[in-house]
Amino acid sequence: MRQGAPTRMARRRSPLLPCRTLWGTCERHARPPRWRRYGRADFYPIRADGPWGLFARDGSRLGVGRDPAAGEALAAPEPVETGPLLFIGRLALHYGHFVINTLPHLWPLAGWTGRRPKLLCHAPPGSWNGSPFLAALLATLGYELDDLVTFDRPVRLADVLVPDPALHEQASVHAVFGDLCRRVGEGFWDPSEVDTVSRPAYLAKTRLAAGITRLDNEDAIVEALDRQGVEIVHPETLDFAAQVRLLSTRRIVLGTVGSAFHTSVFAAPGRRLVGLNWQPALNSNFPLLDGLNENQARYYHAPGTRYVDPGPFEVTWEVPDPRGLARAMLERAERLDRGEPDRPSRGRPWGLRGPWSRP
């Protein structure tokens, strides 16, 4: 051996490392959240420059909104007759935000009997009419878009049920939210078809014009996976029912971490997911939902990730060696499908199995 030559070769850097820490917390509660019924509640529509929200008789705000400034008085509301209402807060029309921020207010409907209340929300009147996922999802609970109620002026309401949410973003979840999600999704998948499609599917974002996160060189990953026989799926081209069905029938689903992964909570239990994250810390919303459905999910990040001009997205990122990364993702997926642990050098399992892991 030449003098000065290394005694052993340098270790090759892995293109994928597990997400070992959480951005947020994951707490599970067996008891349902609390709820209260108000015989009088004052509704004030969203304003950019003033107070808004739902207010109790004593002036306390019930949920999201903005309190009056010191010395500011709320305008006198107009009494209206509506019948019973279930307050669901601010209506999110982005799919992922709806699952995390709006749907958790609907948990009382999981076991509701008798006359159903209409759904009181904060949103511009009629803004929900162009949201096909919302119509499909509400239909599973016996509702139509016309059952959404909002007002463009202050009004006084006589019978409002105000539940605390069953999921707090990046913090905690109540078991009843799993009951609600199972009820939403159960009609869209057939138990006899679960895991019957062995060909992996990759959920791609390459056709999205705007959104939360975007992998700038995802095209190269898609091309490499396609050559290996992975089916490339663009979730935005499928309706809600088709997405639930796809996640239920595939043995393995891969993709960059995003809203499309939230749909797994409505699919058959025990989904196997391999997700590529934009940073080492994983948003805890994903393991919160995974635990409700007993998913086997493994999340990774790519060392050397760069962050570039976000454009119409909140975060745009770029990975080194996308083709090598695609091979590594597929290897991880095959191990998961075989039920094998994905082990780092110290012999500990990779990934976050279930929602109650802590950083």
Per-residue pLDDT of the chain (359 residues; tens, 9 = 90+): 444 444 444 456 778 999 999 999 999 999 999 999 999 999 999 999 999 999 999 999 999 999 999 989 999 999 999 999 999 999 999 999 999 999 999 999 998 988 899 999 999 999 999 888 999 999 999 999 999 999 999 999 999 999 999 999 999 999 999 999 999 999 999 999 999 999 999 999 999 888 889 999 999 999 999 999 999 999 999 999 999 999 999 999 999 999 999 999 999 999 999 999 999 999 999 999 999 999 999 999 999 999 999 999 999 999 999 999 999 999 999 999 999 988 643 433 333 333 323 22
Cα–Cα dist 237/243, whole Å? 9
Structure tokens at 262: 């939230």
| Domain positions in the chain | 17-27+191-337, 33-165
Q: 3-class SS at 286?
A: helix
Cα–Cα dist 15/302, whole Å? 6
Q: Where are the alpha helices (DSSP H) in the chain?
A: 95-97, 132-139, 175-185, 218-227, 240-249, 259-262, 285-292, 322-337
For residue 11, the model assigns a pLDDT of 52
Q: 3-class SS at 346?
A: coil
Cα–Cα dist 77/358, whole Å? 46
Asked if 299 contacts 286 with a C-beta cutoff of 8 angstroms, the reply is: yes
Q: Which amino acid is at 194?
A: V
Query: What's the Cα-to-Cα distance from 345 to each of 17, 26, 167, 175, rounded to whole Å?
Result: 11, 26, 35, 35
For residue 34, the model assigns a pLDDT of 97
Q: Which amino acid is at 114?
A: G
Q: Which CATH architecture has domain 17-27+191-337?
A: 3-Layer(aba) Sandwich (3.40)
Asked if 161 contacts 86 with a C-beta cutoff of 8 angstroms, the reply is: yes
User: What does the DSSP 8-state code read for residue 169?
Assistant: T
Complete DSSP assignment for 130-158: G-HHHHHHHHTTT--GGGEE--SS-EEES
Cα–Cα dist 13/99, whole Å? 37
Structure tokens at 260: 């499309």
Asked if 290 contacts 354 with a C-beta cutoff of 8 angstroms, the reply is: yes
User: HSE-up of 351 (CA within 13 Å, CB side)?
Assistant: 24
Backbone angles phi, psi at 106, to 5 degrees: -95, 10
What's the pTM value of the predicted model, to 2 decimals?
Answer: 0.90
Neighbouring CB atoms inside 10 A of 291's CB total 22
Residues in the chain: 359
Cα–Cα dist 225/287, whole Å? 25
Q: Residue 220's closest CA among 336, 327, 333? A: 327
For residue 156, the model assigns a pLDDT of 98
For residue 132, the model assigns a pLDDT of 87
Structure tokens at 206: 């390459």
For residue 356, the model assigns a pLDDT of 29
Structure tokens at 147: 């059952």
Longest CA–CA span in the chain (Å) reads: 91
For residue 284, the model assigns a pLDDT of 97
For residue 84, the model assigns a pLDDT of 97
Element (H, E) at 88: strand 85-90
For residue 131, the model assigns a pLDDT of 87
